[in-house]
Amino acid sequence: MKLKVYLTRIYRFSSAHRLYSPRLTEEENRAVFGNCGNPKGHGHNYILEVTISGIPDPLTGMVIRRQNLDRIVEDKIIQPWDHRHLDEDTADFKGNFSTGEVITRIVWEKLRSCLEGASLSKIKLWETSSSFFEYFEKDIETVL
Ligand code: NI
């Protein structure tokens, strides 16, 4: 019997963002986003948990080589986002909100197709010590 195994790796990045909707008035923005909409933005120390799954390779006993997963996350997420303003300095958030909800979905979209045969099962993004966002494998059909 071949059993699927889940592997989670934890990454960290620090980024600034500003929550603001051009479709709302200034007053509505203030009411919806409060301090998170301050014009110059603010920062978070994000913690990103990436969970992948698959049948361990019979040659290595592993689902994916850890260093390969780390390199993919580094190239796709950490390098372009760490110590940058998500809305102003990255292409990923042009036309997108940089809310935790949307960041989580964008991480999913950037990682899902490049995992060398393993499946992306879950993305969990901690924005503060009291808020995290999750996106699961089973949600693809209904959400995307
Ligand atoms: Ni924020």
What would the pLDDT profile of 56-103 be if each residue is shown by its tens digit? Answer: 999 999 999 999 999 999 999 999 999 999 999 999 999 999 999 999
**CA gap 40, 54 in Å, rounded:** 43
131 Cα: distance to centroid of ligand 1 (angstroms): 11
- Sign of the Cα torsion 130, 76, 74, 10 reads positive
The CATH-assigned architecture of domain 5-143 is 2-Layer Sandwich (3.30)
Average of per-residue pLDDT across 31-57: 95
Burial class of residue 110 (count of CB atoms within 10 Å of its CB; 0-12, 13-18, 19+): middle
pTM here is: 0.91
- Sign of the Cα torsion 135, 92, 112, 52 reads negative
81 Cα: distance to centroid of ligand 1 (angstroms): 14
Can you give the pLDDT at residue 2? 81
Is 49:124 a contact under the CB 8 Å cutoff?
yes
Q: Per residue in 114-124, pLDDT tens?
A: 888 899 999 99
Q: Enumerate the β-bridge partners of residue 120.
A: 52
Ion ligand 1: protein residues whose beta carbon lies under 5 Å: 36
User: Is 36 considered catalytic here?
Assistant: yes
Q: For the chain, what are the domain ranges?
A: 5-143
Other beta carbons less than 10 A from residue 107's beta carbon: 25
